Amino acid sequence: MRQLTNPMAAPALAGLPPNVPDGFTDVDFTYPYDVSLAGGQALTNEQTSIDTDSEFWWRDTILLKATGAFTYKFSDSSGYVMSSGQIHSANLSANPSSPAPVFPEHPLPPGGAINIEITDISGNTNDIQIAFKGVKRYRRAKAA
C-alpha cells in the first residue's frame, strides 16, 4: 500500500526527513510587508526585497493585519506570476498556526523580490500587514 503525505505539512510532521540538499542549512525566516491604502487605492509596483545573503524558499503567507478588504496578486522578480488575477483577501489566512501555503515552495534568489499588486476594496483607509514565511537557505562552509 502506498503511503500518502500531506503536501501542506512540514516534512518532519509527515514523518519525512527535512528537504534540505546536502551542504545547505535552512533557517526559518519571515519577510514582512506593510502598507496603508486609501479607500479604493491600487498599487501595482510594490515589493518586498529578498536579502542578498541567501536564497529564500517561500513556503506560506499570513495576513497579520487588515482594517478592510483588499485584493492582491504576487509575482517574483523573474516575472513568474502566482495567480492569473487579483485574489480577494479572504483567501489569506489570518491564523499563524494555519497559514496559506505556497505549494510547492517557491525559491527566490538572493537580491530578488516578491512583487505585489494590491487594491483596497473596502472604500476606507486600510492598514495591511502580510508575512511571507519560509526559510533562508545557506550554503554550509566546507570542513578544512
User: CB 119: neighbour CB atoms within 10 A?
Assistant: 18
Average pLDDT over residues 10-39: 82
- Distance in angstroms (rounded) separating the CA atoms of residues 115 and 82: 10
Phi then psi for residue 3, to 5 deg, are -90, 130
Q: What's the pLDDT at 2? A: 44
Q: Which residue has the cell 523573474?
A: 78
Task: Tell me what pLDDT residue 21 has.
Answer: 81
Q: Is the dihedral of CA 7, 30, 87, 105 positive or negative?
A: negative
- 127-137, pLDDT tens digit by residue? 999 999 999 99
**CATH numbers and ranges of domains, the chain:** 33-137 (2.60.120)
